[in-house]
Structure 1
Amino acid sequence: MHKSLLEIRTNSPSDASNEIHATAILHRDETENLRRLAPKLVEHLKESGLFRMGLPKFLGGWEDNPVEVLKAYEILSCSEAAVGWSVWNNHLACTFGRYLDEESMKEVYKDPSHVYANSARPEGVAEIVDGGYNVSGRWTLVSGCEISDWFVLRCLVTGEGLPSTLGPGANLKLFFIPKEAIEVVDTWHVGGLKGTGSHDVVVDNHFVKEAYAVDFDSPVAIDNPYSRLPIGCLNSAGNAAIALGIFKAAMDDLVRICFERVTPGKNPDLRDRDRIQSVVAKSKTTLSALRGQLHNAVSVIWEEAKKENTYTDEQLADVWSASVQAATIARSMVTEIYAAAGTVSLYTENRIERAHRDIHAVLQHGIIQPHWMNQAGMAYLGIKPKGAMFRI
């Protein structure tokens, strides 16, 4: 029995994530082998409400300080990276719902058992027809597609007088499409983030009514501080929080191994090595510093959202730069942990091995690439950032 929407939102995201932790650990191997989240884990996540954090409160969303959401991603990713990634991915699909009219929003998000997927890549084409659009295309890397009930997919809109290819003047929209219109193509044969089930999906000439097609200039139906948060940099911050969670998992596993592999009379044990001691100390202080910087930058944005203020480019840059820096350094630290641990890092029974694969996959996402640091630097130097998602 699923909790009511009211029950779902009474628990903080971090508390709910701590309750998921044991389930995620228990089903890590199953998630890895299935290449998607284990069924019992999916059910637990649905009941927790974590898939719905990006929605308005009346639909079971969080609608409060987004730092709590970052904490949730970190906790979940520390237990199993695919879980943090999947919840983060759902958050974006729910955030896109802010652009629907209220009636359409209620229809798409009415069922608390539903899971959502998205692709912001404009890999489809939507032809304008009477009352809406005919959508066709194939989208790559659609995380959680096998367990999702609704998809938000971006397309190039074509019709009389509109460009037929991507480029200057192209008209791009997001389309809300039910799973019945989706064909999943088994393409997700990977090492890192294997449990996210990020296959390709195909849509063949599916009609989408006008109300289910939106863009970033569409009006926001429900005005509240959370719906005023910038999508781009908050999505980058979420990716960084996932990376921090994986970093913590690798660090914790190294400490665990050091305590478990103590051999009286044999010297030196792993924990007696200077390099290990240095890496553990460096990891702890680095994680704390990165987390603090990220949370502080997002907290500033939250306070501005509550006051209905317009964000300055510098405030947005603080989030972008904190996100890219946190994720990049986290990846470097996981690599350092992997190297310092020696041969134990090679064995899949240790979480260090999985963390090393997963964090490199996490940082392949476009929202955390180095060019966002360039955009932040432009803001600090008084130059107007040109990145399409910098202010959205």
Structure 2
Amino acid sequence: MSDTGEATVHARVAALLPGIADRAAAAEETCRVSDETMAELGDAGVFRMLQPKRYGGAECDPTEFFRVVRAVAGACGSTGWVTSVVGVHPWQLALFPEGAQDDVWGPDPDTLVASSYAPVGRLTEVDGGYQLTGRWSFSSGCDHAGWALLGALVVGVHGRPLDFLTVLVPRTDFVVHDVWDVMGLRGTGSNDVEVAGAFVPEHRVLRNFEHSQLRGPGQRANPGPLYRMPFGAVFASAVTSPLLGAVQGCYDSYVATMRDRVRLSLGGGRFAEDPFAQVAVARVASEIDAATLQMDRNMSELHRQAAAAEGIPMELRLRTRRDQVRATERSLAAADLLFKTAGGNSLRRGNPIERAWRDVHAGSVHVANDVERTLALYGKGAFGLAVEDNLI
């Protein structure tokens, strides 16, 4: 897709939303986003938004990418989640050595990449690279991916961990195990992937320590500001933005459905005239606005400072993570309030409100959405204490 300008992508995605919403139930039943939907999103340029320009990508401000993610998630939470997680991987791949980028995008610049970052893989040093073995869970969208980014530890002769790396492996080196059967985000196809003794050349690894220092070998080929932003900000936002989008879609459905509903109990009357319902709508709208404004403000400020080569202060990195997990918390509160006040009809399976409620709760348990631990890190920074965390 050659035309990947932000406005063009937004317009194309807007036209796709009704179809994505129509296929939401099927995604839940099959436990995967359809090939049709992934192809449509690819043709719209979504998966090129954070890809380097030298491979035909848009290399855009990530604020625009997350705006698209929220729109897709409003139509289908599972599709929004896969869009976000798969769509953020070009940003990280751009930090790998140039040879790794050529391996993936040289043959086909539309190739998609999945991930599972938990360091459950084991790397043994061999001539020219490493030997990798492991099995990873929660690899969202892996059915559609030609490559995978996987977390692994380098182990020494006595089995002691020596380093924590993210490794890049082709589809020919991993097997997908169909195990995804969960209560929320059912359509994400977050299956297990397994690698059994594959060779990983040196140019397909990225040290996590280097990543946390805002460095990466790929910055020499991709010097733009997008690739000087913190992993903890960009990736963590990718697992909160779909939740925020899902609750926005839930809110829109709630208001449209309840506007003309007449109560059959509690004295009857139109639901919209109930002051308690009016207060609930106001609270939910405020939570969504607060979360969206904070996240967009922080992402834009990170991008601006990276563009100005000012360096990114720890205070901003901590604030970004603080507001990101608070956005998750706000999404949960909003979803709970809508579900509670929608009445018995929200219990019906397949109802957009109950689906969004399940999706938001499921996504909230991702490690990047750990509210209390992340807020504690912000508090440490505010008190002048040292903060060390790979997601900051």
State the TM-score, normalized to the length of structure 1. 0.91
Structure 2 distance, partners of 1:12, 1:240, is 24
Distance 1:185 1:165, change over 3 A: farther
**Residues 1:98 and 2:87 are matched in the alignment:** no
State how 1:305-324 maps to structure 2 within 5 Å: 305-324=306-325
How many residues are treated as equivalent by the alignment?
A: 381
**Residue of structure 1 equivalent to 2:235:** 235
* Alpha-carbon distance, 1:349 to partner: 4.0
Structure 1 distance, partners of 2:252, 2:96, is 42
**Residue of structure 2 equivalent to 1:40:** 36
Structure 2 distance, partners of 1:59, 1:82, is 28
* Contact 1:53 1:60 survives alignment (8 Å): no
Deviations 1:222-279 (A, max 9, x none): 1110011111122222322222111111111111111353489x93232232221111
Q: Residue type matched to 2:244 in 1?
A: L
**SS at 1:385 equivalent:** coil
**Residue of structure 1 equivalent to 2:270:** 269
**Residues 1:20 and 2:22 are matched in the alignment:** no
Structure 1 distance, partners of 2:147, 2:260, is 45
State how 1:158-237 maps to structure 2 within 5 Å: 158-160=155-157, 164-166=159-161, 170-216=162-208, 217=210, 218-219=216-217, 220-221=219-220, 222-237=222-237
* Contact 2:12 2:44 survives alignment (8 Å): yes
**Residue of structure 2 equivalent to 1:255:** 255
**Residue of structure 2 equivalent to 1:389:** 391
**Residue of structure 1 equivalent to 2:378:** 376
* Alpha-carbon distance, 1:122 to partner: 0.8
**Residue of structure 1 equivalent to 2:360:** 359
1:122 to 119, 123, 138: 119
Q: Residue type matched to 1:61 in 2?
A: G
* Contact 1:13 1:68 survives alignment (8 Å): no
**Residue of structure 1 equivalent to 2:285:** 284
* Alpha-carbon distance, 1:45 to partner: 1.3
Identity rate of aligned residues, in percent?
A: 25
Distance 1:98 1:215, change over 3 A: farther
Distance 1:337 1:141, change over 3 A: same
* Contact 2:140 2:190 survives alignment (8 Å): yes
Structure 1 distance, partners of 2:239, 2:16, is 19
State how 1:45-56 maps to structure 2 within 5 Å: 45-56=41-52
Structure 2 distance, partners of 1:283, 1:253, is 13
Structure 1 distance, partners of 2:10, 2:105, is 22
Q: Residue type matched to 1:90 in 2?
A: V
**Residues 1:345 and 2:346 are matched in the alignment:** yes
Q: Residue type matched to 2:124 in 1?
A: E
* Alpha-carbon distance, 1:300 to partner: 1.3
* Alpha-carbon distance, 1:187 to partner: 1.4
Deviations 1:314-349 (A, max 9, x none): 111221111111110111110011001110110134
**SS at 2:144 equivalent:** coil
CA RMSD of aligned residues (A): 2.1
**Residue of structure 1 equivalent to 2:213:** none
**SS at 1:211 equivalent:** helix
* Contact 1:253 1:350 survives alignment (8 Å): no
1:77 to 70, 73, 76: 73
Q: Residue type matched to 1:237 in 2?
A: S
Higher mean displacement: 210-219 or 298-307: 210-219
Structure 2 distance, partners of 1:165, 1:74, is 42
Structure 2 distance, partners of 1:234, 1:91, is 11
**SS at 2:60 equivalent:** coil
State the TM-score, normalized to the length of structure 2. 0.91
* Contact 2:32 2:187 survives alignment (8 Å): yes
**Residues 1:148 and 2:145 are matched in the alignment:** yes
* Contact 2:236 2:391 survives alignment (8 Å): no
* Contact 1:318 1:376 survives alignment (8 Å): yes
**SS at 2:122 equivalent:** strand
**SS at 1:383 equivalent:** coil
